[in-house]
């Protein structure tokens, strides 16, 4: 179930570190990153027109996420970093009014709280 959908820009890992637009779907379990031309998995009726494989969809699951650090607000953008449990850092930016960093943080905290409650019950 999507909590929030829209476009985020992700900094590439390559030498040039270019900003690439990704269609993002925030769920109660994590963040799905989809190449902009590709349809989300549940909406594909026919084979995709693009030659990009569906393996390009990345899921950043909250169980593997440590923190969301708001790095800075510059111009119209908010720059933030998602820190994964294994230490990997993924840089994002979005328009300030879209509030992706706050939405991701809120969902991550709610996910961790649900996990803690389940752990206490069991």
pLDDT in tens, 12-61: 988 889 999 999 999 999 999 998 876 655 554 444 444 445 558 899 99
Residue 39 corresponds to which tokens in the numbers above?
Answer: 């349809």
Q: Is the CB of residue 90 less than 8 Å from the CB of residue 61?
A: no
Q: Percentage of residues in the chain with pLDDT exceeding 70?
A: 85
Higher pLDDT, 14 or 109: 109
Q: What is the pLDDT of residue 44?
A: 46
Domains of the chain (ranges, CATH numbers): 2-37+56-121 (2.30.29.30)
In a 10 Å sphere around its CB, with 0-12 CB exposed, 13-18 middle and 19+ buried, how is residue 1 labelled? exposed
Own/partner contacts of 15-20, CB < 8 Å, gap of 24 or more, are: 19/93
| CA torsion through residues 111, 61, 73, 2, sign | negative
Indicate the SS3 state at residue 115: helix
Residue 69 and residue 83: Cα distance in Å, rounded?
Answer: 8
């Amino acid at each position: 179930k999507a909590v929030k959908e829209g476009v985020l820009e992700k900094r590439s890992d390559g030498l040039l570190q270019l900003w690439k637009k990704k269609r993002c779907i925030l769920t109660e379990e994590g963040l799905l990153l989809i190449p902009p031309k590709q349809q989300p998995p549940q909406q594909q009726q026919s084979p995709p027109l693009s030659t990009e494989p569906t393996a390009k969809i990345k899921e950043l699951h909250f169980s593997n996420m440590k923190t969301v650090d708001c790095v800075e607000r510059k111009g119209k953008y908010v720059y933030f970093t998602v820190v994964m449990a294994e230490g990997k850092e993924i840089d994002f930016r979005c328009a300030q009014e879209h509030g992706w960093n706050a939405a991701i943080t809120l969902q991550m905290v709610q996910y961790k709280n649900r996990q803690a409650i389940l752990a206490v019950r069991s």
